[in-house]
């Protein structure tokens, strides 16, 4: 894989036990992105997505829009790196 735009987002709020990861997986099907979404032991959900910058940004914005009632805070980091994912999955 070549170099891709990567975004790592940590969502906090009421994000576990509400179908958050499944909703993210459904939104991912609408975009050309690869990555993973996972529950963390501290109650947050981590989303990693990579692809074209515009697609990744649109995808993460769509996730926030869909789940806005559950998200209190979203902490982001982003950059370019070699692609590491194939497809999108819940882990």
Looking at the annotation, which residues are catalytic?
Answer: 21, 39
Consecutive H or E run containing 1: none
Neighbours of 50 (CB within 10 A): 26
Neighbours of 35 (CB within 10 A): 25
Polymer length of the chain: 91
């Amino acid at each position: 894989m070549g170099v891709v735009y990567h975004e790592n987002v940590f969502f906090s709020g009421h994000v576990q036990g509400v179908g958050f990861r499944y909703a993210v997986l459904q939104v991912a099907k609408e975009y050309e992105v690869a990555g993973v979404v996972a529950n963390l032991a501290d109650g947050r959900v981590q989303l990693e997505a990579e692809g074209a910058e515009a697609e990744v940004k649109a995808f993460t914005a769509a996730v926030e829009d869909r789940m806005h009632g559950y998200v209190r805070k979203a902490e982001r980091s982003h950059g370019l790196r070699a692609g590491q994912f194939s497809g999108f999955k819940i882990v």
